[in-house]
Amino acid sequence: MNEHLDDLITRYALGIASEADVQELMKWLETEADANGKRAFIQWVNVASVLAQTVDEKTPPASLKSTILASLDADPRTRSTERVLRFTPMQMLMSVAATLIIAVIGTFFYMNGELEQHIRSERLINSELAMMRNVVQERDKIIETALCNIARGTVLSGSDANGQRTTGKLYLNAVSREMALHICRLPKLDEKTVYVLWAKKPDGTFTRLTNIDASRTDVIEANYHLGTYAGEARNEFLISVEANGSASKQPGKTLIMKSS
Amino acid sequence: MDMLLFALAVEFNLNNEIELIDRIANKDRKAIAELYDRYAKLIYSLIFKIVKKKDDTEEVMQEVFLQIWEKAPSFDANKGNVYVWIVTMTRNKSIDRLRSKRYKQDKLNSDIEPFTLFLPSADADALDQAVASEQAVRLQQALTELPDNQRELLEQSYFEGYSQSELAERHNLPLGTVKTRMRSGLKKLKDVLTENRDT
């Protein structure tokens, strides 16, 4: 027999087999097991059953035999209580009366309890809803804050004409020349203009890196490949508003954000 | 070790016992009384070993005899012997009680016939011998000679109903190690029985 089968039989013999184990064993016994396999199986089961004989001897109380024999013919539904129910007719009447009183009182308290339970449940649901709303709001704040305040990036900041402050961060991997940009609340532009990201070169001139798609909502998560410009950048960046289609090599006057 | 073995106290006369179960199936109260006299100490001791409390032991013992009384008509001597039937039923009922207190919801279904898989009597000669007193003595000795880490696992699964996963967690062991130790331990005990039969 293989290990898997041995494990199955071990579990079965020790009385800890799952239903799936039993099914698998049954199938094996019916279809695959030869005489040796069946004999081995029996031996494993024997071992476990003989374990029962290794326990310390205890003697049952003398009264237990008569109790058990007396309970054999009782209705199965009342057996478990038959041992203790030995009432006289008067005691029976009193117990019925007591049961009725308890039932009436119990029903009253039960209904009261149900109502209170219902009110409590509704309050609980309302408070949970409020809590969930708070959690969602907090989560949005956290996401926004996280995107805008991740450490180690180059901070870009500025204000638009309406005084709306805009911040963002730019991350540059000098080795892979990959750049990631996170900006919150970049104001939307009309179709004639576009945001452009610039990098300042060592000689003080600017390199136009890319246009920024600002058509999306508050947060821009953009990945750009800088090409050869990455090596020239001095970690100074700025974002300007340019005419759509302009090929200008210098940023316009409308600077929205610059690195600090 | 001051353990007492029941093997010498219990007579395993298969034919008599099967006849006894037949009579119980026909609701013969003398027969169940006779079975009680024969098995009471073994059943009571096994239950007590598992559930540990006197009150629970008495209740479970009552449940076992009620089950014997009710299930005797479905007992099939071709599928196993009376001893294994009763011991398995007793062990399962006791573990049920233990688990109902330990986990509340995690319950073995002890109403399932415990010897569903037992084999035709033609293959059961080893079974007859396995329950003989001499083998029980040898098994007891073999049990004490097992490494602690194997014996503990076998005893905790059989007498406390822990699954292999639960044992792995309790002992902080990989599941594979638990399986290997239990398999090895039980195999050593089996070899004791086999050796006895073959000699």
CA atoms within 13 A on the CB side of A119: 5
Cα distances from A35 to residues A48, A174, B87, in angstroms, run 21, 73, 25
Q: Give the closest of B92, B116, B140 to A15, CB-based.
A: B92
Inter-chain residue contact B139 with A54, CB threshold 8 Å: yes
Chain A interface includes B7 (CB < 8 A): yes
| Token pair of B11 as six digits | 């007579």
Residue B117 has pLDDT above 70, yes or no: no
Chain B neighbors of A65, CB-CB under 8 A: 33, 36, 40
Three-state SS across A66-133?
A: HHHHHHCCCCCCCHHHHCCCCCCHHHHHHHHHHHHHHHHHHHHHHHHHHHHHHHHHHHHHHHHHHHHH
Q: Which of A59, A55, A86 is nearest to A70 (CA)?
A: A86
SS3 label, residue A18: coil
Own/partner pairs for A83-87, CB < 8 Å, 24+ apart? none
Q: Does A53 touch chain B (CB under 8 A)?
A: yes
> A59 touching B, CB under 8 A?
yes
Torsion of CA A246, A248, A253, A257, to 10 degrees: 80
Task: Say yes or no for a CB contact (<8 Å) between B49 and A46.
Answer: no
> Is pLDDT of A239 > 90?
no
Nearest to B158 among A7, A22, A51 (CB): A51
Q: Is A70 at the interface with chain B, CB within 8 A?
A: no
**pLDDT above 70: percentage of residues in chain A:** 50
The region, left, alpha or beta by phi > 0 then psi within -120 to 50, assigned to residue A169 is beta
Name residues 76-135 of chain B within 8 A of A (Cβ).
Answer: 83-84, 87-88, 90-92, 95, 108, 116-119, 123-124, 126-127, 130-131, 135
Predicted ipTM > 0.95? no
A14/B contact by beta carbon, under 8 A: yes
Q: Which of A6, A43, A67 sits opposite B126 (nearest CB)?
A: A43
Using a CB–CB cutoff of 8 Å, tell me whether B153 touches chain A: no
Contact A47 B193 (CB under 8 A): yes
Answer whether A51 sits within 8 Å of B66, measured CB to CB. no
Distance CA B80, CA A138 (A): 67
- pLDDT tens digits, one per residue of A45-81: 777 777 887 788 888 998 899 888 888 876 554 455 3
What's the pLDDT tens digit per position in B33-46?
A: 999 998 999 999 99
Quick check: helix, strand or coil at residue A239? Answer: strand
Tokens of B23: 């009579």
Minimum Cα–Cα distance from A26: chain B residue: B117
- Mean pLDDT (chain A) is 69
A155-167 pLDDT, tens per residue? 566 665 566 566 6
Nearest one of A163, A131, A164, A168 to A146, comparing CA atoms:
A168
How many Å separate Cα B13 from the centre of its chain? 18
DSSP secondary structure code for residue A169 in this structure: E
Assigned token pair, B125: 């000669």
The arithmetic mean of pLDDT across residues A202-209, rounded, is 76
The reply to whether A227 touches chain B by the CB within 8 Å rule is no
Model confidence at B182, pLDDT cuts 50, 70, 90, reads very high
Strands (E), chain A: 154-159, 165-173, 178-184, 193-200, 206-212, 219-225, 237-243, 255-259
Q: Determine the Cα–Cα distance for residues A251 and A28; give it in Å rounded to an integer.
A: 81
With beta carbons under 8 A apart, name residues in chain B contacting A76: 66, 70
**Measured between CA atoms, how close is A24 to chain B, in angstroms?**
11
List the single range of A2-16, A18-32, B22-36, B118-132 with lowest mean pLDDT. Answer: B118-132
| Interface A:B, Cβ pairs < 8 A | 171
pLDDT at B180 over 90: yes
Angle of helix B82-102 versus helix B148-160 axis, rounded to 10: 90
Residue A255 bridge partners (DSSP): A240
Over 80: is that where the pLDDT of B63 sits?
yes
**Residue numbers in B near A14 (CB within 8 A):** 154, 157-158, 182, 186
Q: Distances in Å between the alpha carbon of B131 and those of A116, B18, B72, B139?
A: 61, 15, 21, 10
